[in-house]
Chains A and B, each alone.
Chain A
Amino acid sequence: MANNNIEAIGHFGPFGGRFVPEALIGALDQLDAAHQAAIIDPIFQAELAHLHLTYTGRPSIITEAKRFSEFAGGARILLKREDLNHTGSHKINNVLGQALLTKRMGKKRIIAETGAGQHGVASATAAALFGLECVVYMGEEDTRRQALNVARMKLLGAEVVPVKTGSRTLKDAINEAMRDWVTNVDTTHYLLGTVAGPHPFPTMVRDFQKIIGEEARVQVLELIGRLPDAVLACIGGGSNAIGIFHAFIPDTSVDLIGFEAGGAGIETGRHAATITGGSVGVLHGTRSYVLQDENGQTIESHSISAGLDYPGVGPEHAYLHDIGRAQYRAINDDQAMEAFALLTKTEGIIPAIESAHALAGAIQVGKERGPKAVLLVNLSGRGDKDVETAADYFKIDL
């Protein structure tokens, strides 16, 4: 490991930090200061809580998946229903927080990257709500597979810019958003959608997402009188996972398990399982695990799920992995789609394909641990956006 500056701000052990053009330092410092001020400001907290109560629809409920459980070794499966949030995923938690900060910083324009389109939709929604200009960068490949969300963003008044460079997916959308930000940083806030990127993003986005685990911990205790045995979530950049993990980190009896996108299988090289199949490197301003070749060039990731199709991962996950507090496994496309179909047919809930990776994980872990186990699963989003992909996968005539 090259870096020993672990005492510096914004690090998680040797991970995290800031690897960005000097032009962005001022904006990152400003954002960090705004975030630090907000977390101790009762007015900000009340404003955000009010929005969550009256707009997001928080707290999100817990649903026990009783019929699904039969296929998961009989383990009790508790779903944290982030899919029921306004706009259909956990992304809104972070977006509303950052939109409030944008207002506080006096900026009038937000830009965002999006893969599945959920973060883009949430950003466009907040922009409509707060009267901000909004530009969303989205890989051209993703505009095709998540066409419904492109239409939603446009209806909400956002400009959607298809990114035609590189793999034309999430990674390239982030590159393009960073270029926009370097150019327009005085007037623009980059509303990053996950716990990656330079400090303060990994910490700040986590702080806006940790409400998921804080609620769920209380809800599970109320429901079953004890903590769950394991908490499961899918990993793209890692925001829904860190959101549900965070409150449980001190509970050492609770296993934290993240499920990365195994794509066509780790052995094929066509995957997005950054921790499972990658190595330590720097991408998009932070040191973490990265899919890269021997020259440090990013390797294109592959996943049926646009929201997990990213060759990096948040630095806090890299740290939790290295200290052994959380474990990370890969779920391939077929396993995820099987779990997608299963939850739909057994519970009447169509999950996002991203979240289906966590559900496939629940099947796996449930079979390992049996009926005594209680598994809390983050159902990070709903699957409306994915019906075309699913129809195509299951060869359903439309």
Chain B
Amino acid sequence: MATQLDEMFVKTRKENRAALIAYLPAGFPSLEGCKDAISTLAESGVDAVEIGFPYSDPVMDGPTIQQAADISLKAGTGATEVFETLNFAHEVGLPAVVMTYWNPIERYGVDRFAKEMARNGGSGVVTPDLTIEESKPWNSATLAAGINRIFVVAPSTTDDRLARVTSQCSGFVYAASLMGVTGARTDLSSGGRDLVARVRKTTDLPIAVGLGVSTRAQAREVAGYADGVIVGSAFIKALLDAKDPQSGLEKLGALARDLVAGVREGR
């Protein structure tokens, strides 16, 4: 059974372009503010959203996402709010996935989390610290719930291991383009291009590239070789730097339109 996300990639492939996927933590800048941001992203032409489950110990994240997660956690964001936000994205018509460190899933209950994802219209879950060696229960839970299981691969992942990881994936493969934590970079290394080429040899799944993309030029470059471009910290920064919610949404919308244009210039 195809998820909304699977269908989106069929469409963007038909249009011969990469998809733009926006990341925001649930509950940031507030529960309602996050929903407003999702509406703005949808109106600006973003193809899908990745909703972060804010976590107390985000070892994969740089200062920007840490700060947003802190704000969200202080406001009391938990699984209930994550699912509420997911449901909202689904209602406005955006394919939506959740990105979460593993412990919140394990704590919630692996099967229960997968079911609740599906019930709220979620397409899948990105799990940045779940290794394939530990994923057996998650594989069966996501299969039963009919949602995508998205693992992250890195430039240091060997070819042999890439094949094993991507064989466990569905929806898309998340290619972390550089060795490091999330956050905007001025220079994108060639790591993304090389990694995507190596991933392609192992799977026909769409490949989305994340880590460091923040500008239209970078989006254009990545869209040239990947099926999806994931942008997080840059959107968060637009909201963090704004003096009030309204101007934050305006800046967010402007950045989104710029990046939407960028991914269309890639090929």
Residues of chain A touching chain B, judged by Cβ–Cβ distance below 8 Å, are 2-5, 8-9, 17-23, 25-27, 165-166, 171, 175, 178-179, 182-186, 281-285, 287, 290, 292, 294-298
With the chains together, A48 CA to B254 CA distance in Å?
60
Cβ of B57 and Cβ of A298 under 8 Å apart? yes
With the chains together, A179 CA to B165 CA distance in Å?
22
Q: A18-B133, A282-B106, A292-B103 are in contact. List 6 more A-B contacts (CB 8 A).
A: A5-B136, A20-B131, A23-B155, A171-B57, A175-B59, A295-B104
With the chains together, A7 CA to B154 CA distance in Å?
26
Cβ of A297 and Cβ of B56 under 8 Å apart? yes
* Residues of B contacting A17 in the complex (Cβ-Cβ under 8 angstroms): 131, 133-134
* Residues of A contacting B255 in the complex (Cβ-Cβ under 8 angstroms): none
List 30 A–B pairs whose Cβ atoms lie within 8 Å, in order of A's numbering: A2-B109, A2-B110, A4-B136, A8-B133, A8-B134, A18-B131, A19-B103, A19-B131, A20-B131, A21-B60, A21-B129, A21-B176, A22-B151, A22-B157, A22-B165, A25-B156, A25-B161, A166-B56, A179-B59, A182-B179, A183-B181, A185-B156, A186-B179, A281-B107, A282-B103, A290-B103, A295-B108, A296-B103, A296-B105, A297-B56
* Residues of B contacting A18 in the complex (Cβ-Cβ under 8 angstroms): 131, 133-134
* Residues of A contacting B103 in the complex (Cβ-Cβ under 8 angstroms): 19, 281-283, 290, 292, 296
* Residues of B contacting A175 in the complex (Cβ-Cβ under 8 angstroms): 57-59
With the chains together, A5 CA to B140 CA distance in Å?
13
With the chains together, A282 CA to B130 CA distance in Å?
10
Known: A182-B180, A183-B179, A185-B179. A19 touches B57 (CB 8 A): no
With the chains together, A296 CA to B56 CA distance in Å?
9
Cβ of B134 and Cβ of A3 under 8 Å apart? yes
Q: Chain B interface residue count: which class? A: 35 or more
Chain B 170-181, CB-CB to A under 8 Å as 1, else 0, gives 000000100111
Tell whether B23 is near chain A: CB-to-CB under 8 Å.
no
* Residues of B contacting A281 in the complex (Cβ-Cβ under 8 angstroms): 103, 106-107
* Residues of A contacting B110 in the complex (Cβ-Cβ under 8 angstroms): 2
Which of A5, A27, A186 contacts B134, CB < 8 Å?
Answer: A5
Q: Which 7 A-B pairs have the closest CB atoms?
A: A296-B107, A23-B154, A296-B104, A295-B78, A183-B180, A178-B59, A296-B103
Q: Which residue of B lies closest to A296 (CB)?
A: B107
Cβ of B78 and Cβ of A294 under 8 Å apart? yes
Q: Closest CB of chain A to B258's CB: distance in Å?
A: 28
* Residues of A contacting B157 in the complex (Cβ-Cβ under 8 angstroms): 22-23, 25-26
Residues of chain B touching chain A, judged by Cβ–Cβ distance below 8 Å, are 55-62, 66, 70, 73, 78-79, 102-110, 128-131, 133-134, 136-137, 151-158, 161, 165, 176, 179-181
Cβ of A22 and Cβ of B153 under 8 Å apart? yes
* Residues of A contacting B60 in the complex (Cβ-Cβ under 8 angstroms): 21, 179, 182
With the chains together, A26 CA to B154 CA distance in Å?
10
With the chains together, A295 CA to B130 CA distance in Å?
17
* Residues of A contacting B66 in the complex (Cβ-Cβ under 8 angstroms): 165
With the chains together, A2 CA to B106 CA distance in Å?
7
Cβ of A2 and Cβ of B131 under 8 Å apart? no
With the chains together, A69 CA to B180 CA distance in Å?
53
Cβ of A284 and Cβ of B57 under 8 Å apart? yes
* Residues of A contacting B134 in the complex (Cβ-Cβ under 8 angstroms): 3, 5, 8, 17-19
With the chains together, A22 CA to B152 CA distance in Å?
7
With the chains together, A22 CA to B60 CA distance in Å?
10
Q: Which residue of A lies closest to B63 (CB)?
A: A165
* Residues of A contacting B180 in the complex (Cβ-Cβ under 8 angstroms): 23, 182-183
Known: A20-B131, A294-B107. A282 touches B152 (CB 8 A): no
Q: Closest CB of chain B to A251's CB: distance in Å?
A: 33
With the chains together, A297 CA to B27 CA distance in Å?
15
Cβ of B129 and Cβ of A4 under 8 Å apart? no
Known: A183-B179, A294-B107, A296-B103. A23 touches B156 (CB 8 A): yes
With the chains together, A178 CA to B62 CA distance in Å?
11
Q: Closest CB of chain B to A293's CB: distance in Å?
A: 8
With the chains together, A18 CA to B8 CA distance in Å?
33
With the chains together, A121 CA to B210 CA distance in Å?
37
Which of B102, B109, B151 contacts A19, CB < 8 Å?
Answer: B102
Which of A8, A19, A296 contacts B130, CB < 8 Å?
Answer: A19
With the chains together, A183 CA to B61 CA distance in Å?
11
* Residues of A contacting B153 in the complex (Cβ-Cβ under 8 angstroms): 22
Q: Closest CB of chain A to B165's CB: distance in Å?
A: 7
Q: Which residue of B lies closest to A285 (CB)?
A: B129
Cβ of B179 and Cβ of A25 under 8 Å apart? no
Which of A19, A20, A184, A298 contacts B56, CB < 8 Å?
Answer: A298
Known: A8-B133, A183-B179, A296-B103. A21 touches B154 (CB 8 A): yes
Known: A178-B59, A282-B106, A294-B107. A20 touches B129 (CB 8 A): yes
Q: Which of B59, B110, B176 has the most CB of A within 10 A?
A: B59
Q: Which residue of B lies closest to A292 (CB)?
A: B107
Q: Which residue of A lies closest to B54 (CB)?
A: A297
With the chains together, A166 CA to B70 CA distance in Å?
8
* Residues of B contacting A290 in the complex (Cβ-Cβ under 8 angstroms): 103
Q: Closest CB of chain B to A285's CB: distance in Å?
A: 7
Q: Which residue of A lies closest to B156 (CB)?
A: A26
Known: A5-B133, A21-B152. A283 touches B57 (CB 8 A): yes
* Residues of B contacting A285 in the complex (Cβ-Cβ under 8 angstroms): 129
With the chains together, A21 CA to B62 CA distance in Å?
14
Which of B102, B105, B131, B137 contacts A25, CB < 8 Å?
Answer: B131
Q: Which of B105, B107, B157, B180 has the most CB of A within 10 A?
A: B107
